[in-house]
Chains A and B, each alone.
Chain A
Amino acid sequence: MSETDTPKPYIEIRDIGIAFGKGKSRVQVLEKVHLNIQEGEFVCLIGHSGCGKSTLLNLVAGLYPPSAGSCVVDGSLVKSPGPDRMMVFQNHSLLPWQTIRQNVALAADCARPELNKAEKAEEVEATLEMVGLSHAMDKRPSEVSGGMKQRAGIARALITKPKVLLMDEPFGALDALTRGKLQESLLEIWERNRITVMMVTHDVDEAILLSDRVVMMSNGPKANVAKILDVGLPRPRSRMEAVNHPLYYQYRNSLTRFLHDNKHHHGPKVERDPEEISLGFIPLSDCAPIIMARELGLFEKMGLKVTLSREPTWRAASKGLMEGRNHASMMLAPTPFLHNLENPGKPIQSSMVLSRNGNAITLRKNLQELGIHDRDTLATWIKQQPPNKKPVFGMVFPSSMHNLILQDWLRAGGIDPDHDVEIIVIPPPQMVANLELNNLVGCCVGEPWNSLAIQKGVGFVPEADDALWPSHPEKILTFTREWQKSNPDKASKLTAALMQACAYCANLENRDHIIQTLAQKNAVHLPEETFAFSMRDQFDNGDGHVKDLPGFHQFFEASSTYFHEDEQRWISEKLRQAGVTPVHENFSLIFDETTYREGCALSGYSPAEGPALSTPHFSNTRIGRLAEGVPA
């Protein structure tokens, strides 16, 4: 690496663009792609098929000329292909009529004219030995396995001593085991030579394991660099160390989420009935009101036609609202505050609280062996950890109650969430697996995931939600202001139907019915026993005792559907404290009082009056002081 402050990039891709075809069928595959790569850097290109990753690689190789822009490698403009930018092709592309040795020798003949015959032969053997093929040099490609062919392809590329190694999904066609072995070999070889590598891949894990930076490409046509992830895993790397590194899952999640969010929606768009309302939900215990409203036909009774759309992540749920795929959606109570700051042109509002409580902090079961069974023992242990090995906690989304609760809970135990620990985002369904892999010390997540962790014997609950922030708003019903303005009637009726459903859910006598319904395939689709305790307001802490926790899930108790202004302030303040939203931003209310009141009128319940239902538990925080009327 250069000593100067801004090292000159080794590869400069300057506003490169390429289009194929002519006239109407002309497709702009890449447009204004800009990317700089330093010498000795390992960069992976990731993106969906057809996003032009391979095309970009071929442009650097010089296999076709760009329609716009240029590419400079080591100070010289790329005009034609050359062995200084050697390629490893996806399907190895070895010449089948030559032995592996001859294939590699052909490359040496062309790219290394300075070597004499004996030196060349020696170099060929050395290179083949390096990739682990000394025993198969004189075999034809047809006589060796797919992995060995790819090794030969790599040897053929390495012998040319390229400035840049371009790899086009080199391991894409191999089975997982072989792929793993080859990735490790490639790491080893790269460590020895430290050549600059650009590699196209589909495989998220491969990208994290190998690269210094992962370049995420947006979908074509007109594809571009969407995001770049810096992979800070220490080198030299090995798979086991990488996978067990606390940052690994964070990287993995951001890549997976990127790929997921950029998924193509293939097929013709279905014409929707203009009267139909699409309501998004996330499969969790507290989606019960939505599922029960469908089950009980409450939407129909209000004269609504509602279809439910199961969303995989919270991000997908808010995206669904933004793109108009869903008209209304279940949402984490704090999310709209952040959303409205980021999208002031398309604000989201809420007309009711769907559920309160329902969260728990789960710690890894094997911490008990270290004598940790409550917050105080945990705090002592955390303080003993070396500063470079911060314990990692998981939560589901930055703008979630889980994040706020977790931070508050840690703070209350004297643990500084910003310095003593690391908090990372992991989608709820992956939480248990991460506990199991010892990647997390603990997590804050909604039901049924705590129960699942306990039932699998990987977690225990030191403190259930009840003690955290009693009766905090958890999930809310949201829609865009735009939609509410043009469909005020539908918004009120939807609110009314869900209020009736909440009332049904609140009755403990109905909980068996709810458990059965939630377990079904079109709802949460988990075994009934996973919901059984928490839905019966009981909680198995993982220490063998089942505690009664009245009001663990609150759906409709004492004006619980009302999102009080004070509660909104608290959440907003907590978001700022947690660093999710900027400190100086102005706070704006998200609760749509008018729709709430109309909903109450339609469903026959009286609207809430008086002070807020919930107050935060920890009064020694800035928020607590705020709640008590002390100026911050």
Chain B
Amino acid sequence: MNPLARKIVFPIVSILLFLMLWSAFAASIETSLGDFPSPKSTWSAFVDLKDEYLGEKQNRKDYEQRMVEKETTFYEVQERRRIKYEERGREFTPKTFTAPPYAGKPTYPEQIFRSLKTVFFGFLIATVIAVPLGIFCGMNEFIRISMNPIIQILKPVSPLAWLPLVTLVVSAKISQDSSMEKSFVISAVVVALCSLWPTLINTALGVASVSEDHLNVARVLNVPQRVRIFKIILPSALPYIFTGLRISLGIGWMVLIAAEMLAQNPGLGKFVWDMFQNGSSQTLGMIMAAVITIGGIGYMLDRGMQMLENFFAYEKSKG
């Protein structure tokens, strides 16, 4: 098949067909909040979100401008007061101006960024736990056998089941004035809890399937344990580990939306929830826009991980 047709024409045709079907069905579904959003209304939601973002940006700029003016005024007043005080021989303690934080609502890109930050933080926690644990499981059959039932039981648990527990624990552990927001930590931990399993299992598998010959080389050379892990076992297990990480990140992204909805972490999940709650006529279009955004970002994350995975798998298959 012509590569051009394969890579461009067919996907475009299928997307167009999908849009047509979507429009046809959207018109026929009526909800309590009006018609199901058509592609057109979804598009206009995107445009609104953009306008909103630009508007908000302008607002912020205006606010900052006002604050600069306020600051100038503040210091002018203070200066006058200081002169007055000195004339009267009274002691004067100067104050610094602090602008109150901008209280505008977060924009859509900010929410996307927040979601990404949360998912990567959760993913990081998962990786930090799963990879070393996986190496232990892979290197020692005893540990592997002992861990297996625990992994198998915890693996299918839904994020919604974890959430109340995580909320309580995090609330107890994190004080109000911590630099990290509770909702952020809760969402990230839930993401980590649900996404660490594929990495753990794949790492263990990768480590357990390191070539016997390479291990024999290590044994004959009396390679120290640390070198053995970092120069032989890990490089050999990397393709497996990256496959695990890719699956983990995919799961993490899916879990994140639910976690954010319930933990009220101001990312895409909360955006969807808020839209649902406010019930305006625009709601459905906005939700649809969020759905498409979530899908698109999920797709891009997956492609990125796949590229990494292929790179390492290729590196290994060459040898």
Residues of chain A having any CB pair with chain B under 8 Å: 61, 63, 80-83, 85-87, 89, 91, 93-98, 106-107, 109-111, 140-143, 160
Given A97-B236, A106-B223, 7 more A-B residue pairs with CB atoms under 8 Å apart are A63-B219, A86-B220, A93-B216, A95-B235, A96-B315, A110-B224, A110-B227
Contact of B160 with A by CB under 8 A: no
Contact of B84 with A by CB under 8 A: no
From A61, A87, A94, A110, B223 is in contact (CB under 8 Å) with: A110
Q: If A93-B213, A95-B235 touch, does A142 touch B220 (CB 8 Å cutoff)?
A: no
Nearest CB of A to B262, in Å: 43
Contact of B40 with A by CB under 8 A: no
Beta-carbon contact of A87 and B216 below 8 Å: yes
Beta-carbon contact of B220 and A97 below 8 Å: no
Beta-carbon contact of B220 and A63 below 8 Å: yes
Nearest CB of A to B213, in Å: 4
List residues of B (300-319) whose CB comes within 8 Å of A's CBs. Answer: 315-316, 318-319
Q: Complex: how many Å from CA A109 to CA B316?
A: 23
Residue of A nearest to B217 (CB): A93
Residue of B nearest to A102 (CB): B231
Q: Complex: how many Å from CA A57 to CA B240?
A: 32
Nearest CB of B to A537, in Å: 64
Q: Complex: how many Å from CA A109 to CA B218?
A: 12
Beta-carbon contact of B221 and A110 below 8 Å: yes
Q: If A63-B216, A95-B231 touch, does A142 touch B221 (CB 8 Å cutoff)?
A: no
Q: Complex: how many Å from CA A94 to CA B220?
A: 13
From A91, A94, A98, A142, B318 is in contact (CB under 8 Å) with: A142
From A89, A95, A140, B232 is in contact (CB under 8 Å) with: A95
Beta-carbon contact of A160 and B221 below 8 Å: yes
Beta-carbon contact of B318 and A96 below 8 Å: yes
Residues of A within 8 A of B315 (CB): 96-97
List residues of B (168-227) whose CB comes within 8 Å of A's CBs. Answer: 211, 213-214, 216-217, 219-224, 227
Beta-carbon contact of B221 and A141 below 8 Å: no
Q: Complex: how many Å from CA A92 to CA B5?
A: 44
Residues of A within 8 A of B318 (CB): 96, 140, 142-143
Beta-carbon contact of A61 and B220 below 8 Å: yes
Q: Complex: how many Å from CA A85 to CA B211?
A: 21
Residue contacts A-B, CB under 8 angstroms, 23 given = A63-B219, A81-B220, A82-B220, A83-B222, A87-B216, A87-B217, A89-B213, A91-B213, A93-B216, A95-B217, A95-B236, A95-B319, A97-B236, A97-B319, A106-B221, A109-B227, A110-B221, A110-B222, A110-B223, A110-B227, A111-B222, A142-B318, A143-B318
Residues of B within 8 A of A96 (CB): 315-316, 318-319
Q: Complex: how many Å from CA A142 to CA B317?
A: 9
Beta-carbon contact of B219 and A107 below 8 Å: no
Q: Complex: how many Å from CA A98 to CA B227?
A: 13
Beta-carbon contact of A142 and B216 below 8 Å: no
Q: If A83-B222, A95-B231, A106-B223 touch, does A140 touch B319 (CB 8 Å cutoff)?
A: yes
Q: Complex: how many Å from CA A143 to CA B319?
A: 8
Nearest CB of A to B285, in Å: 50
Beta-carbon contact of B216 and A89 below 8 Å: yes
Size bracket of the B interface: 20 to 34
Q: Complex: how many Å from CA A96 to CA B217?
A: 13
Nearest CB of A to B273, in Å: 46
Residues of chain B having any CB pair with chain A under 8 Å: 211, 213-214, 216-217, 219-224, 227, 231-232, 235-236, 315-316, 318-319
From A86, A93, A110, B214 is in contact (CB under 8 Å) with: A93
Residues of A within 8 A of B222 (CB): 81-83, 110-111
Residue of A nearest to B318 (CB): A142
Beta-carbon contact of A89 and B217 below 8 Å: yes
Residues of A within 8 A of B224 (CB): 110
Beta-carbon contact of A83 and B231 below 8 Å: no
From B214, B236, B319, A142 is in contact (CB under 8 Å) with: B319
Beta-carbon contact of B316 and A97 below 8 Å: yes
Q: Complex: how many Å from CA A396 to CA B232?
A: 56
Residues of A within 8 A of B217 (CB): 87, 89, 93, 95
Residue of A nearest to B315 (CB): A97
From A63, A106, A142, B231 is in contact (CB under 8 Å) with: A106
From A85, A98, A140, B220 is in contact (CB under 8 Å) with: A85
For the complex of A and B, the 6 pairs showing the least CB-CB separation, nearest first, are: A96-B319, A142-B318, A93-B213, A110-B221, A97-B235, A81-B219
Residue of B nearest to A157 (CB): B220
Residues of A within 8 A of B214 (CB): 93, 95
Residues of A within 8 A of B316 (CB): 96-97
Q: Complex: how many Å from CA A91 to CA B216?
A: 12
Nearest CB of A to B304, in Å: 22
Residues of B within 8 A of A142 (CB): 318-319
Residues of A within 8 A of B232 (CB): 95
Beta-carbon contact of B221 and A107 below 8 Å: yes
Nearest CB of B to A160, in Å: 7
Q: Complex: how many Å from CA A61 to CA B217?
A: 11
Residues of A within 8 A of B231 (CB): 95, 98, 106
Residues of B within 8 A of A109 (CB): 227
Residues of A within 8 A of B227 (CB): 106, 109-110
Q: Complex: how many Å from CA A564 to CA B315?
A: 79
Q: If A63-B216, A141-B319 touch, does A93 touch B223 (CB 8 Å cutoff)?
A: no
Nearest CB of A to B232, in Å: 6
Beta-carbon contact of A111 and B213 below 8 Å: no
Q: Complex: how many Å from CA A111 to CA B216?
A: 15
Q: Complex: how many Å from CA A148 to CA B23?
A: 63
Nearest CB of B to A87, in Å: 5
Q: Complex: how many Å from CA A399 to CA B51?
A: 107
Nearest CB of A to B89, in Å: 74
Q: Complex: how many Å from CA A93 to CA B319?
A: 10
Q: Complex: how many Å from CA A93 to CA B221?
A: 13
Q: Complex: how many Å from CA A109 to CA B231?
A: 12
Nearest CB of A to B129, in Å: 25
Q: Complex: how many Å from CA A106 to CA B221?
A: 9
Q: Complex: how many Å from CA A94 to CA B319?
A: 8
Q: Complex: how many Å from CA A111 to CA B227?
A: 13
Residues of B within 8 A of A160 (CB): 221
Beta-carbon contact of A111 and B221 below 8 Å: yes
Residue of B nearest to A94 (CB): B319
Residue of A nearest to B231 (CB): A106
Nearest CB of B to A139, in Å: 11
Nearest CB of A to B314, in Å: 10
Most chain A CB within a 10 A radius of its CB, from B211, B222, B232, B315? B222
Most chain A CB within a 10 A radius of its CB, from B217, B223, B232? B217
Q: Complex: how many Å from CA A63 to CA B218?
A: 11
Q: Complex: how many Å from CA A62 to CA B224?
A: 17
Q: Complex: how many Å from CA A572 to CA B235?
A: 72
Q: Complex: how many Å from CA A140 to CA B232?
A: 15
Q: Complex: how many Å from CA A160 to CA B227?
A: 17
Nearest CB of B to A476, in Å: 55
Residues of B within 8 A of A61 (CB): 220
Q: Complex: how many Å from CA A246 to CA B316?
A: 49
Beta-carbon contact of B319 and A87 below 8 Å: no
Residues of B within 8 A of A89 (CB): 213, 216-217
Q: Complex: how many Å from CA A87 to CA B214?
A: 12
Residues of B within 8 A of A81 (CB): 216, 219-220, 222
Residue of B nearest to A89 (CB): B213
Most chain B CB within a 10 A radius of its CB, from A80, A94, A96? A96
Q: Complex: how many Å from CA A283 to CA B220?
A: 51
Q: Complex: how many Å from CA A109 to CA B222?
A: 10
Q: If A96-B319, A110-B227 touch, does A83 touch B213 (CB 8 Å cutoff)?
A: no
Residues of B within 8 A of A94 (CB): 319
Residues of B within 8 A of A80 (CB): 219
Residues of B within 8 A of A63 (CB): 216, 219-220
Residue of A nearest to B212 (CB): A93
Residues of B within 8 A of A97 (CB): 235-236, 315-316, 319
